[in-house]
């Protein structure tokens, strides 16, 4: 196939491009040249801007488009209008954040999606992100119909993650000693290695898949207890997990996702228990968690000091408790 990737120079996009090249596909990357301009020197890099700068793509033809960087319906609309006749397939990377919360455990892709109070809003915030992604999905479906593949990932993890939403755990567990273990040990969590996601998207295109899919994992439920135990074993760490209940952590101002990444609190537990059977039936596979943990730590150590945070929601603080904050929480735990 001759593929056009809108983005493709960061995180999951890099995995997708690498795998597409391994499979013998031609890849053209359209991006602004601000990050990853030096990756994939054998690919054609077309520089432009999603917002008003699509002219360099005029007159081009592709077999499929993979949109890894669409957040605003107006901007996605510009892309589909230009490419609808130029490329017969369109893959849109959406998010499980599209759903109305709270989401029921076991929900499938038919669950109700969020609607913006102001459909014309374009500011990307924690309150608007899901609704904007849902509207972007509608734009793609309206233009492409059954030629559209809508992918709703959960938390994407692994090497090259610019957000550190998962990386903090391998780093912290590798450091050993007492580690805060949050909430109910049997509370579930879901995430997907960016390499598994990118590779599945390529295979789904090859197989002519269309429709909407949850792209998160693993295939079988994973508890916080199992996650932490596997992480400790994979890293041969001496970490000692101290289980602290959600009420205590909340009283200490410790938040899920930001202070303790990947953990979801009880009120949001449905987002960590979505039905992934449709994607699994369509060929989605998952590498062993231990491999993801080890590879993520190796990448993190190789990169050295993390660069400034790159977050679509405008966040500037990297996730995870600092050692000083962690010590404060342990002191409060001992005083209780």
Q: Rounded distance, CA 202 to CA 66, Å?
A: 9
Which pLDDT band holds residue 323 (cuts at 50, 70, 90)?
A: very high
- pLDDT, tens digit (0-9, with 9 covering 90-100), for 157-173: 999 998 888 999 999 99
- pLDDT, tens digit (0-9, with 9 covering 90-100), for 190-228: 999 999 999 999 999 999 999 999 999 999 999 999 999
Sign of CA dihedral 205, 69, 161, 255: negative
pLDDT for the residue 314: 62
pLDDT for the residue 103: 94
Q: Rounded distance, CA 168 to CA 166, Å?
A: 5
Cα dihedral 309→313→317→322 (10° resolution): -110
pLDDT for the residue 35: 81
Which pLDDT band holds residue 119 (cuts at 50, 70, 90)?
A: confident
pLDDT (mean) for 299-325: 81
Radius of gyration, alpha carbons of the chain? 20
pLDDT (mean) for 145-167: 95
Tell me the CA distances in angstroms from 314 to 126, 136, 242, one per residue in order.
9, 19, 32
Question: Nearest-CA neighbor of 4 among 51, 52, 48?
Answer: 48
Q: What percent of the chain has pLDDT over 90?
A: 88
pLDDT for the residue 317: 76
pLDDT (mean) for 116-143: 95
Q: Is the pLDDT of residue 41 over 70?
A: yes
Hey, what domains does the chain have and what are their CATH numbers?
Answer: 2-157+191-215 (3.40.50.720)
Which pLDDT band holds residue 312 (cuts at 50, 70, 90)?
A: low
pLDDT for the residue 305: 81
In the DSSP assignment, the letter for residue 14 is: H
Q: Is the pLDDT of residue 309 over 80?
A: no
Helix ranges, the chain (H): 11-22, 73-83, 129-144, 168-175, 194-206, 224-234, 246-251, 277-281, 289-303, 323-335
Please tell me which residue, 126 or 334, carries the higher pLDDT value.
334
pLDDT for the residue 310: 61
pLDDT for the residue 315: 63
pTM score, two decimals?
0.95
């Amino acid at each position: 196939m001759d593929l056009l990737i809108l983005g493709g120079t960061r995180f999951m996009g890099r995995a997708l491009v690498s795998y597409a090249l391994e499979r013998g596909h031609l890849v053209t990357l359209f991006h602004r040249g601000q990050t990853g301009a030096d990756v994939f020197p054998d690919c054609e890099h077309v520089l432009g801007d999603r917002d008003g700068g699509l002219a360099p793509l005029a007159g081009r033809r592709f077999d499929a488009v993979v949109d890894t960087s669409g957040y605003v319906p107006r901007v996605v609309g510009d892309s589909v209008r230009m490419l609808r006749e130029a490329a017969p397939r369109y893959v849109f990377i959406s998010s499980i954040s599209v759903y109305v919360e709270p989401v029921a455990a076991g929900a499938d892709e038919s669950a109700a999606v969020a609607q913006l109070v102001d459909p014309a809003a374009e500011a990307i915030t924690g309150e608007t992100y899901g609704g904007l992604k849902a509207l972007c999905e509608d734009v793609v479906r309206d233009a492409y119909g059954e030629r559209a593949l809508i992918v709703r990932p959960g938390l994407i993890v692994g090497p090259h993650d610019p957000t550190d939403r998962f990386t903090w755990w391998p780093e912290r567990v590798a450091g050993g000693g007492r580690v805060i273990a949050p909430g109910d040990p049997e509370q579930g969590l879901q995430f997907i290695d960016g390499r598994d996601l990118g590779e599945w998207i390529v295979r789904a295109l090859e197989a002519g898949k269309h429709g909407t899919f949850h792209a998160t994992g693993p295939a079988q439920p994973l508890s916080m207890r199992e996650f932490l135990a596997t992480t400790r074993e994979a890293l041969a760490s001496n970490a000692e997990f101290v289980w602290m209940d959600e009420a205590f952590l909340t009283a200490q101002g410790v938040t899920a996702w930001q202070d303790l990444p990947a953990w979801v609190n009880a009120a949001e537990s449905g987002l960590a228990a979505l039905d992934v059977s449709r994607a699994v039936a369509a060929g989605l596979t998952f590498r062993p968690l231990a491999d993801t943990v080890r590879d993520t730590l190796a990448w993190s150590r190789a990169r050295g000091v993390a660069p400034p945070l790159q977050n679509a929601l405008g966040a500037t603080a990297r996730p995870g408790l600092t050692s000083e904050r962690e010590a404060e929480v342990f002191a409060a735990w001992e005083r209780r």
